[in-house]
Homo-oligomer: A and B are copies of this chain.
Amino acid sequence: MTTSVPSRPFELYDATLRDGMQGEGMSLSAEEKLRVARKLDELGVHLIEAGFPASNPKEQELFALLAQETWESSRIAAFGMTRRRDVRADQDPALRILADCFCDVTTIVGKTWGLHLEKVVRVDPAENLRLIADSVAFLVGEGKRVIYDAEHFFDAWRDDREYAHRCLRAAVEAGADTITLCDTNGSSLPMQVHEAVRAVVDELGEHVRVGIHAHDDAGCGVANSLLAVQAGATHVQGTTNGIGERTGNANLTTITADLELKMGIRSLPEGRLAKLTETAHFVDELLNRPPRTTQPYVGRNAFAHKGGLHVAGIRADASTFEHVDPATVGNARDVLVSELAGKGTVIEKAAEAGLSVDDAQAVRIIDRVKELEHRGYQFEAADGSFELLLRRETGTYDPLFTLESWRVIVEQRAGGQVETEATIKIWIGDERFVRTAEGNGPVHALDRALRSAIGQVHPHLSDIELVNFKVRILDETKGTGAVTRVLIDASDGNRTWGSIGVGENLIGASWDALVESLAWAEQPGRRGPQLAAAPAEVESA
């Protein structure tokens, strides 16, 4: 799809660290924000909005850290607002802080909508124009590149188009480099955005860069941004993974891929688009936010095909069903295993694990998967457990040990800590092991006890770390009582694999998942060297 080539260089403006932090549960330390900024710099976005340099100690610390960094692709933008009404711009303390900040890019937001002038800030429209002009002029005079964010622009434009344009002109005449039209409450639809942006570009596009800042309240954050670009905007503000208040900001991750892959607009430096997925996942990890598996381009399932027909098509020619090649954004195709999959999927997954299964075995495996799924198992996130299932069905599963018993005791006395102790009794060959370990929780204690035993025979197990632990209580109305599903991700530093345990008891389900995590790492073809077991004796770890 061709679009008129922008007359100005195109800019991506990532507001994750400021606007994104308004989302529920979003919270990062200054150090974590620095790490996010470095990652965004690696990706190559042009501008990173970091916040207001002195609103609280965390922000001050952040700006001190940012000032010391060398940035390869990105510039850091400080964020603030127009001056207070009763103060000159050069005496407004907040503007002074922005002026003194190391950032040479400053974004300030100002009012555009009559409703806000009247009811929220109680400022006369004429005075508002002076607030805008004074503030922008002051910062330009201090040597800053000024980006002016026109708040609630689209509501304002629909209400009083003429005044909305006057606000923008005030900023432009005062020296703003960019005017960003903000759909602050996410109320606008794509055609409305296109119309208003077009009008602004027609009037002011020769003198200033026009930008867009959309939200997703109507489910159109991405589309609104793209339509704005089509209408002539060359600056797009959004957040990584679309985090932000309410329904979130426009998803800059999706927008970036759409611009490059579908609109022919280079928005990142050459070759950086392939870092999109890792950047998105990194930010989710730091935010401790479960990644949205259905997120366009970078979600784990963005290219995952479940239906049998689709899978057959993919194997023939990927372009028959995939809208883009996942590798361009650093993602991968993934074929799901489930009751809708066919023999072809199973054979392919087995081959990935170095196993060969014939048609009859594949059919049996599918039946087994369906049966387990009815009991609450889900293998899409538990590739390790799925491989063990394949091995059990093909007679190539090598259990690490035989269980005699396990037990966990957790207790707390008034005023004391919670204490956890696990005891396991297992057999490896002829050798019986009894191990007791303490831990900061039941799974931790069981893991330590178990590995202190089998680790004697399989020393490489000490390289494994349990990196993720998820618990989900399944639907009670299914009549089997509440069933718990536990997913554990384990990693040896190179690979990460998932395992699953299902049962009525959370600890029991955790035990099963734990055993599968370790067993996967030591299957034939993958295991490290083994040692002879030491004589059986009771030990504590």
Contacts and interface: CB of A to CB of B under 8 A. Distances in A.
Contact of A27 (B312, B313, B339, B409): B339
Given A115-B319, A294-B248, A507-B442, A219 B254 contact: yes
A320 B247 contact: no
A336 B220 contact: no
Contact of A413 (B22, B116, B404, B442): B404
Contacts of A217: 296-297, 302, 323
A408 interface: yes
Contacts of A399: none
B410 A408 contact: yes
A119 B317 contact: yes
Given A245-B310, A302-B217, A313-B120, A223 B413 contact: no
Report the interface size class on chain A.
35 or more
A466 to B, nearest CB: 9
B323 A185 contact: yes
A320 B407 contact: no
Interface in A284-300: 285-286, 288, 292-297, 299
A406 B418 CA distance: 9
Given A24-B336, A378-B25, A473-B468, A441 B505 contact: yes
Interface string A157-187: 0000000000000000000000000001111
A420 B306 contact: no
A219 B224 CA distance: 11
A34 interface: no
Given A322-B185, A505-B418, A471 B471 contact: yes
Given A305-B246, A405-B413, A411-B405, A187 B323 contact: yes
A459 interface: no
A1 interface: yes
Contacts of A394: none
B408 A409 contact: yes
Contact of A321 (B185, B223, B299, B482): B185
29 contacts: A24-B294, A24-B304, A116-B313, A120-B320, A185-B322, A186-B323, A189-B223, A190-B190, A217-B296, A217-B302, A218-B222, A218-B254, A218-B262, A218-B323, A219-B255, A223-B224, A242-B294, A247-B302, A286-B475, A405-B411, A408-B411, A412-B508, A418-B505, A418-B507, A418-B508, A440-B482, A441-B484, A468-B473, A506-B506
Contact of A246 (B23, B304, B511): B304
A150 interface: no
A306 B511 contact: no
A126 B116 CA distance: 61
Contact of A120 (B1, B316, B469): B316
Interface in A195-234: 216-220, 222-224, 226-227, 230
A21 B308 CA distance: 13
Given A189-B223, A246-B302, 9 more contacts: A21-B340, A24-B304, A216-B294, A245-B310, A288-B475, A404-B413, A406-B411, A407-B409, A409-B409
A192 interface: yes
A247 B411 contact: no
A267 to B, nearest CB: 15
Interface string A465-489: 0001111111100100110100000
Contacts of A471: 469-471
Given A23-B294, A410-B507, A507-B418, A305 B220 contact: no
A258 interface: yes
A80 interface: no
Q: Which 4 A-B pairs have the closest CB atoms?
A: A223-B223, A187-B323, A418-B508, A219-B222
Contact of A301 (B222, B247, B321): B247
Contacts of A219: 222-223, 251, 254-255, 258, 296
Interface in A433-458: 440-444
B262 A189 contact: yes
Given A24-B336, A407-B410, A441-B504, A1 B245 contact: no
Given A186-B323, A227-B191, A440 B220 contact: no
B504 A440 contact: yes
A532 interface: no
B403 A414 contact: yes
Contacts of A462: none
A189 B481 CA distance: 46
B119 A320 contact: yes
